[in-house]
Amino acid sequence: MTLPPPPCPAGSDPPPRLESSMRNSCSRMTFTSVACILALVFAQADAQPPKPRIDWIFPAGVQSGTSVGVEISGADLDGLSRLIVSDERLKPVKAADGKWSIAADAGTPSGVYEIRGVAAWGITNPVPFVVGPLVEIAEIEPNDAQAQAFFVPQTINGRIQAPTDVDRFRFPGKKGQRVAISVKAESIDSPLDSTVRIFGPRGNVVAEALDSVDYDASLELILPEDGEYRVDLFDAIYGGSPAHRYRLSIHTGPTVDAALLTPFGDRAMLRVLGRGLPAAERSLTEFPPVFGQPEQSLSEVFTFPAKPAAGGYIGAYSFASAPFAATLSSVRGVPLAEPLTVAMPQGKLQAEIESNDDSEHGQRIMVPADFSGTFGKPGDIDHLIFESEKDATWIIDVSAQRQHSLAQPQIELFHQEPKGPVARMLTNATDYRENPLGPTFEKATRDPRITTKLSEKGGYVIRLSNLNKRDGDARYHYRVVVRQPEPDYRIIAMPTDSGPAGSAIFPGGRFAVTVLLDRIDGFDGSVRVEAFGLPAGVTAYPVIFGPGVRKQDMIVEVAAEAAAGEFPLKLGGRSNWSDGKDSVDWVPGQTKETAFESRQEQLGGGLVKPLVGQPNQQRGVSRYARDHWLAIRSTPVPFRLEAKPLRVFAKRGETVDLPVAAVRNAPFDAPIALKLDNLPATMEAVAGEVPKDKAEAVLKLKIGANVPLGRHTVYVTGTAPFGFAKDPAAKEKPNVPWNQPSRPVTLIVTP
C-alpha cells in the first residue's frame, strides 16, 4: 500500500523578530470621565512607583572555576544588596565600592543559570547568566579599524554599542585546523541579531554566518592556509546599544549537532552526532558533510535525574514545554562550549532505522513511543507505522525548534485501509500556532502537534518531512512523542506587568499576581489554586479557575506589622474542593469535580521584553523561571479598598450592586478611579469612581445572558494619583499612579 505524494516544497519563515518597545498602557476598560482625566494625569507624570528591574548583566557569563566583575543595568536598583542565584555553585560578591563580581566554583557545569537582585524597593525579574568552559576575555574598544588579538580557544564578551559598530578580532591559524565559532546573544536576552564574517590571511571572506538557530550565528571551518584570520561581528539589522551584548566563543573542541535518545535497558543511550568528538566511534557516510566536514558519532550512557534540578535556566516557553530536562554539558568528560538540553523520555524509546523513506518500508513502532530521528539528507521523508484500537485518542507531538534543531517538520497521518492502492490521509500539521495563555506567555512554536481520535482499529502511518525539502543533515533532528492524552495542568505565577518586572508588596496594602493555568491534554476541570508556606502577616486569597479559564489574578495581602523580606510564592492546585462540605458555591446542575491534583512542577514565569503590537494582536517573548519571588517593603500605602459582600449571587440578565469603600490614609485625599478586574468572558466592563469627598461608591455589575455560569473570582482595582518620592524627606513629590486591589469577590452566576 502506498501513500499519496508529499505536498510540494514550501518555504517557512521564522516567527517575526520581536523588538523591545514600550507600548501605551491604556486599559481596554471604558472608564468614567473622571477616570479618563486621571489617566491623562498619570501619563504626564514623570515618576512611577518603584519596581526593581534588571535589564542586563555584562559580561553575561563566567568561566567555570573563575570570577568576573559585572555591570548590572536596570531600573530602581537603589540599595542593591544581594543577588539570588539558581545554583549555589555561583557566588555573587559585592565589594566595598559597590561593584559586583560573580564566581563559579570549579566543576560548575557549563550552561545557562538564573540571577535576580534584591534592592531597597523590592526584588527583580530573573535574567540569564552563562557558565562556560573556555578562558574568557573582554572586548577592548576601539576595535573597529584595528582588530583585537586573541588566541583560540577563548570566549570574548563584548557589545555592539552603536548601529555602525563592527567588532573585529584576529587570531593566528594553521592550514587544516578546524575552528568552531558561535555567538550567544538572542539566547541570553540580548537584542543583537548577530552576523559573523571570517576573513583569511589575504583579506578575502572565507566564511559567514547569520541566523543559525533562531537569531544566534554559528559556523565551523577548516582553515585553508597558515596566517592571521579576522573575525567581524555586527548586528544584521544595524542595531546597537549597551544592551546589545554577546558571547563570542571560538574553539577547536567538540560541537554537537544532535543528541538522539535510544533505549539502553532502564536508562537512555544518547547517540551524539557532531564534529571534533572525543574518541568518536566513526565518521558517518549517511549524512552530508556539515561545514565541509564529515559527521561523527559516539554513544553516551545518559541517566536522567530523579527530579528536576534545582539550578539552571529553563528558557523561553517554546523551548521548554517539557521543563523536566537535563543538560548535556560534556561528552566523554570533555566540556561542550555549547551545552545541549535533553528533555525527559515520554514513552518507550525508539530510534530511527533507515531506510524508512516510503510507506512500503515504514518503520514499525510500539506506542506509546518516544522516537528520535533526523532529516538526514535533502528531501528525506520518514514513515512510522503503528497499530491502534478503535476509538483510541492519540497525541502526535514533534519537537524540533524546542530542542534547538534546524528542522521545520510537517506531519501527515494516514489510515492503512485494508483495500485500495492508496492510504487515506486523515489530518496534517506544520506548526503549533495555538496560544491559549495569551501574549504574556507565548506558547506558539514551529513544532507540529496533532490530537486525533481514530475511529477504526488497524494500522496508521505517520509521514514526517522537512518543510524545506532542500535542507537536510544531522542538524535537522527531531523527536516524535506518540502517546494517549494524560489530562493535567501546570500552575505558573508571574507579574501582572506588560514587560519584565520585579515585585514589591507593602504592609497594609495588597498586590495582584497573575496565575496561569496551563491546561494539558484537554484538561478542562475547575481548579482552586492556593498559596502555602507564606511568611507571617501575608495572606494570599485562593483563586478559582472555572472550566476553560486559564488566567486569573491572585490577591496577596500584607498585614501592617509584616516584616520586610523576600520569599518565593509557592502555589498548589486541586480540583476536588467542590466535593467538600464548604461547597456552598456549587451551582445546581453543575457537575461536581472528582479528586485530582496535578503531577506537574509549579513554576514562575515572566516577559523577557515588553509586549509589542496592537492590543488585539500583541506578541510577547516569555520564559519560565524556577519560582516567582515577592518582596515586602515598608512604604506608606495611600488608600485601601474594601468591596462587600465578598460573595455575590446573580442571575443572568440581572444587574447587581457591589458597594466599594475607600479607606484613605492621610495626607491622601484624591478621587479614586475604579474598575472591575478578572472579569468572566463576555461580561460587560464595569467602572466607576470614589469622589474626593466620598468614602464609598457602588459599582453596577451587569450580568449578560452569555456570562458563563458558576463561580468567578473578580476584584476591584482602584487607581489614584499619589505624591511619592524615593527620598521621604524630598520637598517635591510628583504624582504617580498608585494601584490598589480589593480583596477578591466570588461572583456566582446562576441561570
| Structural domain boundaries in the chain | 22-49+638-751, 52-132, 136-251, 348-485, 486-635
On whether the CB atoms of residues 218 and 189 are closer than 8 A, the answer is no
pLDDT of residue 421: 55
pLDDT of residue 7: 55
> Per-residue DSSP letters for 425-462?
EEEEES-B---TT-TTS---BSS-EEEEEE-S-EEEEE
pLDDT at 15 over 50: no
Average confidence (pLDDT) over 399-407: 87
Query: Which strands form 381-388's sheet, in the order they lie side by side?
Result: 363-364, 381-388, 458-466, 409-415, 424-429
Give the range among 208-217, 447-456, 490-499, 594-603 with minimum mean pLDDT.
594-603
pLDDT of residue 728: 81
> Per-residue DSSP letters for 650-711?
EETT-EEEEEEEEEE-TT----EEEEEESPPTTPPP-EEEE-TT-SEEEEEEE--TTSPSEE
Encoded amino acid at 567, one letter? F
What lies within 8 Å, CB to CB, of 72 at 6+ separation is 54, 56, 57, 80, 100, 117
How many helices (H) and strands (E) would you count in the chain?
A: 1, 55
On whether the CB atoms of residues 506 and 637 are closer than 8 A, the answer is yes
Q: What is the pTM of this model?
A: 0.88
pLDDT at 613 over 80: no
Look up the CATH number of domain 52-132.
Answer: 2.60.40.10
pLDDT at 134 over 60: yes
Percent over 70 (pLDDT), the chain:
87
pLDDT of residue 442: 77
- For the domain made up of 486-635, give the CATH fold: Immunoglobulin-like (2.60.40)
C-alpha cell at 327: 543538560
Average confidence (pLDDT) over 700-723: 91
667 cis-preceded (ω within 30 degrees of 0): yes
pLDDT of residue 1: 55
Band (592; pLDDT cuts 50, 70, 90): low
> Per-residue DSSP letters for 232-285?
EEEETT----TT-EEEEEEESS-EEEEEEEEEETTEEEEEEEEES-TT--EEES
Report CA dihedral (456, 462, 467, 472) to the nearest 10 degrees: 180
Q: pLDDT tens, 303-328? A: 776 665 555 556 554 444 554 677 88
User: Cell numbers 521545520 label which residue?
Assistant: 408
On whether the CB atoms of residues 464 and 384 are closer than 8 A, the answer is yes
C-alpha cell at 6: 508529499
**Cα dihedral sign for 88, 91, 94, 95?**
positive
> Per-residue DSSP letters for 398-429?
EESGGGT-S--EEEEEEE--SSSSBPEEEEEE
Nearest to 251 by CA among 192, 179, 185: 179
Q: pLDDT tens, 92-117? A: 999 999 999 999 999 999 988 999 99
Give the range among 86-90, 129-133, 498-502 with minimum mean pLDDT.
498-502
Nearest to 185 by CA among 139, 228, 140, 243: 243
Please give the Cα distance from 74 to 55 (Å, whole number): 5
CA 425 to chain centroid, in Å, comes to 34
Please give the Cα distance from 479 to 449 (Å, whole number): 12
pLDDT of residue 284: 85
Average pLDDT over all residues of the chain: 85
Burial class (CB in 10 A: 0-12, 13-18, 19+), 634: exposed
Average confidence (pLDDT) over 47-55: 82
Question: Which of the four CATH numbers 2.40.30.260, 2.60.120.380, 3.30.365.10, 2.60.40.10 does domain 348-485 have?
Answer: 2.60.120.380
52-132 against 136-251: fold identical: no
pLDDT of residue 320: 41
Encoded amino acid at 556, one letter? V
pLDDT at 558 over 50: yes
pLDDT at 45 over 90: no
Query: Which strands form 194-199's sheet, in the order they lie side by side?
Result: 148-149, 167-173, 227-235, 194-199, 205-209
Give the residues across from 190 on adjacent strands. none
- For the domain made up of 22-49+638-751, give the CATH fold: Immunoglobulin-like (2.60.40)
Give the range among 165-179, 180-194, 348-362, 366-380 with minimum mean pLDDT.
348-362
136-251, which class in CATH?
Answer: mainly beta
C-alpha cell at 747: 461572583
